[in-house]
Amino acid sequence: MATPVTLIPGDGIGPAVTEAAVAAIEATGVDIQWIEALAGMTAFEEKGDPLPASTLESVAHTRVALKGPCTTGVRGGFRSVNVHLRKEFSLYANVRPSRGLPGVDCLYPGLDLVVIRENTEGLYSNMEHWVDDQKSAAIAIGINTRSAMERIVRYAFEYASSRGRRKVTVVHKANILKLLTGLILEIAETMSSEYPDLEFDDRIVDNMAMQLVMNPSQFDVIVTTNLFGDILSDLCAGLIGGLGLAPGANIGGDMGIFEAVHGTAPDIAGKDLANPTSVILAGVMMLEHMGHLDEAKRLEAAVLSVLEEGKYVTRDINPTNGVGTKAMTQAIVDRVKS
Ligand code: NAD
Residue 255: closest CA among 122, 90, 144: 90
Q: What range does the domain containing 183 cover?
A: 112-224
Q: Which of 178, 201, 206, 311 is catalytic?
A: 206
Q: Are residues 156 and 216 in the same domain?
A: yes
Ligand 1 atom closest to the CA of 69, numbered from 1: 40
Q: Are residues 73 and 92 in the same domain?
A: yes
Per-residue pLDDT of the chain (338 residues; tens, 9 = 90+): 899 999 999 999 999 999 999 999 999 999 999 999 999 999 999 999 999 999 999 999 999 999 999 998 777 777 889 989 999 999 999 999 999 999 999 999 999 999 999 999 999 988 999 999 999 999 999 999 999 999 999 999 999 999 999 999 999 999 999 999 999 999 999 999 999 999 999 999 999 999 999 999 999 999 999 999 999 999 999 999 998 899 999 999 999 999 998 999 999 999 999 999 999 999 999 999 999 999 999 999 999 999 999 999 999 999 999 999 999 999 999 999 99
User: In this predicted structure, what is the pLDDT of residue 249?
Assistant: 97
| 8 A C-beta contact, residue 160 and residue 127 | no
Q: Whole-prediction pTM value?
A: 0.95
Output the CA 88–ligand 1 centroid distance in Å: 23
Count: domains in the chain:
2
Which burial class, exposed, middle or buried, applies to 321 when counting CB atoms under 10 A from its CB (0-12, 13-18, 19+)? exposed
User: In this predicted structure, what is the pLDDT of residue 1?
Assistant: 85
Output the CA 137–ligand 1 centroid distance in Å: 29
List Cβ neighbours of 164 (8 Å cut-off, separation of 6 or more): none
Q: Are residues 100 and 246 in the same domain?
A: yes
The beta-strand segments (E) located in the chain are 3-8, 32-36, 64-67, 93-99, 112-118, 128-130, 138-140, 167-172, 199-204, 221-224, 247-252, 255-260
| 8 A C-beta contact, residue 171 and residue 223 | yes
User: In this predicted structure, what is the pLDDT of residue 125?
Assistant: 87
Q: Is residue 234 part of a domain?
A: no
Q: Is residue 95 part of a domain?
A: yes
Assign residue 200 the CATH number of its domain.
3.40.50
User: In this predicted structure, what is the pLDDT of residue 73?
Assistant: 76
| 8 A C-beta contact, residue 323 and residue 313 | yes
- What values do phi and psi take at 276, rounded to 5? -85, 0
Q: Are residues 140 and 118 in the same domain?
A: yes
Q: Is residue 251 part of a domain?
A: yes
Q: Which of 11, 173, 202, 312 is catalytic?
A: 173
User: In this predicted structure, what is the pLDDT of residue 79?
Assistant: 82
Strands 64-67 and 255-260, by their bridges, are parallel
User: In this predicted structure, what is the pLDDT of residue 75?
Assistant: 73
Q: Is residue 246 part of a domain?
A: yes
Residue 173 among the catalytic residues: yes
Q: Taking CB atoms and a 6 Å cutoff, what residues make up the pocket around ligand 1?
A: 13, 17, 69-72, 82, 243-244, 259, 262-268, 274-275, 278, 316
Instruction: Please identify, among 174, 195, 224, the residue that sits at the C-terminal boundary of a domain.
Output: 224
User: In this predicted structure, what is the pLDDT of residue 76?
Assistant: 74
Q: Are residues 200 and 123 in the same domain?
A: yes
| 8 A C-beta contact, residue 295 and residue 29 | yes
Assign residue 262 the CATH number of its domain.
3.40.718.10
Q: Is residue 78 part of a domain?
A: yes
| 8 A C-beta contact, residue 11 and residue 18 | no
Q: Is residue 235 part of a domain?
A: no
Instruction: Please identify, among 171, 192, 224, the residue that sits at the C-terminal boundary of a domain.
Output: 224
Ligand 1 atom closest to the CA of 277, numbered from 1: 18
Q: Are residues 281 and 213 in the same domain?
A: no
Residue 206 among the catalytic residues: yes
Q: Are residues 131 and 86 in the same domain?
A: no
